[in-house]
Copies of this chain bind each other. A is one copy, B any other.
């Protein structure tokens, strides 16, 4: 079975990929990777032989609000031990290797990982150290490779960025919808907009706006179309009534 998260993430109690940092160096980067994971609700980190030991105060300082990820991190002596219980493992690599393996984009990989996790298969992703990335010996242990489609002239994603894009794609593959729509305003009904446009048209007509006569219909249609296609809210309509009334009825100061 897949491990479960802390229950506070995006998929409470549900399966998640293990994010496996292989021989990470700077504690700051481990902390940044924890933040990147937790931004998308992932909290299952595994560390293979972190250079500066564990726990690492620099990692904790960088992780701040995401320190729960570090608290739950498991430390393993080597890659084999870190992935022993996983059914399917993806290795992130910056450049193609001479290895015969399926190569996925992050999007494809995380869609695949979601499907496997949903079947109860525990999955994980290997991330290499800051400079060198994964060694061939690590990539060989994975089932498939993930390569981010970067600019061939400049492929310089750091560890936390690579974790970020992978975690983002995991979340996206889950169909995580949009956050709440800001603004609670009720959309205006077609009728409300029509009534507003009609009042405006009367005011404009009294001022000979729809002229010359043979263009009257198309000018009126244009005006109506302009406001009808605008996705106006109830407060918008009231604002526009106020604007039109103010312009038409109030004399300007001097």
Which residues of A are at the interface with B, using a C-beta cutoff of 8 A? Answer: 8-10, 35-36, 38-41, 65-66, 96-105, 107, 145, 147-157, 161, 164-165, 168, 171-172, 176-183, 185, 200, 203-204, 206-209, 222-223, 226, 230-231, 233, 235-236, 239-240, 242-244, 246-248, 250-253
Contact = CB atoms under 8 A, between A and B. Distances in A.
A156 B226 contact: no
A233 B171 CA distance: 34
Nearest to A39: B150
A209 B243 contact: yes
A244 B203 CA distance: 11
A251 to B, nearest CB: 7
Given A100-B233, A178-B105, A151 B248 contact: no
A218 B208 CA distance: 34
Nearest to A154: B38
A207 B40 contact: no
A151 B39 contact: yes
Nearest to A244: B247
A200 B231 CA distance: 21
Given A99-B182, A147-B179, A149-B177, 5 more contacts: A10-B151, A98-B183, A104-B178, A149-B179, A247-B247
Nearest to A248: B247
B96 A181 contact: yes
A244 B200 CA distance: 11
Contact of A157 (B39, B165, B253): B39
Contact of A154 (B39, B101, B150, B209): B39
A2 B133 CA distance: 37
B250 A207 contact: yes
Contact of A247 (B9, B38, B97, B203): B203
